Amino acid sequence: MPALTVDRATALQLDLLRRMSRLDPAPYLFGGYAEDALLAGKVTRPHLDVDWLCPRRELDLRLAQARQLGFTEFETWGESAPGKPFYLFAHQGELRLDLGVGDEVEGHNVLLVHNLAFAPVPVPYRVALPDDMFDHPPVTLEGIELHVVSPLALHQIRIGIASQGSFGELSDRHLAASRQLCQMFYPDVDPASLAPVVEPI
């Protein structure tokens, strides 16, 4: 099989994913690379960053792991409550790492959005996320074994946040990826029933 030919940014990101996969316990991906791993097993397009998602109880562990990988300073780009981050950003040279932090309410996974650094949040809200969010089996991307959040979690995070306008409208590419996730993993389920519950907080 011929070697994968990629641009410099993708090569650096794949190297980061390899190093990340060796951490114990390995972090969970979400975002574009998680979708590539689940839907294709290969890189399908350039990516701006690598996205991690963790439960809040693991935040200190994941920040320590990020420091091992060279990401020493994080900026808070979103809070789930005043002084309580849910969206952190760091960079190391050309590499960008986004770290999302989930919470639990009555034993169930949720994403709490109180404010964002780059967009107004008129009414703070929470997105209910599936209980299997961190239970999906490992997947392979370009020969690298990775842990990713569940397909339903990927779909619901995107749809839930978009429903509140927090990150702007979904692009055709985002909509197509969500459709693919639903068709591949939930082929006999009405897509409307897979939408998350979003409530004000």
Question: Does residue 171 fall inside a structural domain?
Answer: yes
- Asked, for residue 129, whether it belongs to a domain, the answer is yes
Does some domain include residue 72? yes
Q: Which residues pair with 96 in a beta bridge?
A: 91
Question: Range of 97's domain?
Answer: 8-200
pTM, full prediction: 0.93
> Are the C-beta atoms of residues 100 and 30 closer than 8 Å to each other?
yes
Cα 123 to the chain's mean position, in Å?
A: 23
Helices (H), 41-193: 59-68, 151-163, 172-185
Is position 96 within any domain?
A: yes
Backbone angles phi, psi at 146, to 5 degrees: -130, 155
- Hey, what are 7's tokens? 């641009």
Residues with pLDDT less than 50, the chain: 1-3
pLDDT of residue 1: 40
How many Å apart are CA 173 and CA 120, to the nearest integer? 24
Q: What is the pLDDT of residue 4?
A: 59
Cα 195 to Cα 2, 3, 129, 161: the distances in Å are 40, 39, 10, 11
Q: How far is CA 179 from CA 16, 26, 115, 158, 159, in A?
A: 28, 28, 28, 12, 11
Assess if residue 1 is contained within a domain: no
CATH of the domain at 59: 3.30.460.40
Assigned token pair, 110: 């949720």
Whether omega before 25 lies within 30 degrees of 0, making that bond cis, reads: yes
Long-range interactions of 17-25: CB distance < 8 A, separation 24+:
17/50, 17/141, 17/144, 17/146, 18/144, 19/69, 20/50, 20/65, 20/69, 20/146, 21/144, 21/145, 21/146, 23/65, 23/68, 25/61
- Is residue 68 one of the residues assigned to a domain? yes
pLDDT given at position 5: 66
For residue range 149-176, list pLDDT tens digits in order: 999 999 999 999 999 998 888 999 999 9
Number of independent structural domains in the chain: 1
